[in-house]
Amino acid sequence: MTELIYNKTNMIPEDNELFIKNARIIDPAQGIDTRDDILIRNGTIRSIGKTDTGGNFPVERDIKESNSADKNVTGNKNTKPLAVLKGKTVIIDADGLIACPSFFDMHVHLREPGNEEEEDIESGINAAAHGGFSSLCCMPNTEPPIDNEYLVKYIINRSKEFDFEVYPVAAMTKKLEGTEMTDFGLLKENGAIALSDDGRCVQEPKLMYEIMKYASYFDIPLILHEEDYSFSKSGLMHEGYFSSKLGLDGISSLSEILMIQRDIEFAKRTKAKVHFTHISAMESVRLIKMAKEDGLPVTCDVTPHHLVFDDSSLEKYDATFKINPPLRSSRDRQALEEGIRNGIIDIIASDHAPHLEAEKNTTVKSAANGVTGLETMFACAFTKLCRDSRLGIDRLINILSVKPRKILGINPPSIKQGEKAEITLFDPESWRIIDDGFFNSKSKNSAFKGQKLYGMVCATVNGKKVRINN
């Protein structure tokens, strides 16, 4: 028995099979929480159940906190390799690990085309696989913006080079200028999964109303960044105690609230499918709750950083935490967490926003907005919601895997015989203090550097592609 050494693409050869042994399988779509073996051949799940394939090879584990002074400290110390090769069978000993349907990120900035030095499709896919994702949506605010069928096709064809499903979200307005609608029908026909001007908000009410009418006609979801510029212009952080203390221009939560109010009313009249992305304010949660109670087709997401941090994070003028929408008060943060727990907030999305070091390592006024999130999203959510707040693991998996796909009309993966293998393996007891060496993304502007996160992703299976994390 020899240790398997993966090539750069982490692909198992065609004539090999993958055997995941003794995993705890949690599949919310099937209501399954059991311990079993999974046999995968040619990217398809061939059987689930105890089998002699691969033999018996217990892997000793000593998962405990390290006293090492090294900053790359980790709480996952395996005495044997996670994956081994026996004949033509790749064997993953999953004793102590959880196997679940792989995750889906509905809000990712891949920067290609135009800003490939920050991120490109290949590096973004590598970061996604590292974080346990087998598919994602990319947002349209590239250079040039994804506002025509040719760029939609470009994104799809580029992602196929890496056998990874990237769903393009196309622009609602040409050049993201908020003045003229794009061709919704043509964009959808060529593969756009949704429409958004993310990073920008359509200010003209009549145009937004027309956008919703056409989106309803073409049955395509809208992903809305809600921001009234009259309340956010020149603002650098949430308007409150800390903005006054630091002498920084504030952004009132009214900037978000007023636009959500407006667009809920438009959704009521047009029946458009509206998804409010990266909501940040307590009042936004209340408004969306009321809209859902009225039976409107509205959904929403929150980012990991808005769940964990508040505006006090900027107290030392750390531009890492300059984000749009801004980190708001502790009361807002608590309302967002409660919104996840009670189901008003449907999903978590990373808003993965890679930037160069020079764009973030500067003054708060000069810094770019945004942080990365693909690689830390699951561990952050697991640590905050499951370990600290006792949310059920099955609920978190549902939030990260099943619900985002359903919002977009995509069939979620399931761990059952005959299905494509889209499986994430994670260790609920392992932890790591996040540092620059953790990331596969080209950019390291993470809000979670220095944070101790539990629930490290050990492997991501995406059809014939298998990524084993160190």
Catalytic positions are 351
Q: Which residue, 419, 402, 424, 433, is CA-closest to 469?
A: 424
State the alpha helices, DSSP H only, in 131-181: 149-160
Q: Cα separations (Å) of 448 from 124, 227, 366, 379?
A: 18, 26, 21, 10
Whether omega before 325 lies within 30 degrees of 0, making that bond cis, reads yes
In the chain, the N- to C-terminal Cα span, in Å, equals 20
Counting Cα atoms < 13 Å in the Cβ hemisphere of 144 gives 12
Residue 437: CA atoms inside 13 Å, Cβ hemisphere, count?
8
Q: What share of the chain is helix, strand, coil (3-state, %, to 5)?
A: 30, 25, 45
CB distance 182 to 152 below 8 Å: no
CA–CA distance, 438 with 187 (Å, rounded to integer): 37
374-404 burial code (b ≥16 CB/10 A, e <16):
bbbbbbbbbbbbbbeeebebbbbbbbbbbbb
Tell me the longest C-alpha to C-alpha distance in the chain: 67
DSSP-assigned letter for residue 311: G
Q: Which of 286, 178, 275 is nearest to 228 (CA)?
A: 178
Q: How many CB atoms lie within 10 A of CB 120?
A: 19
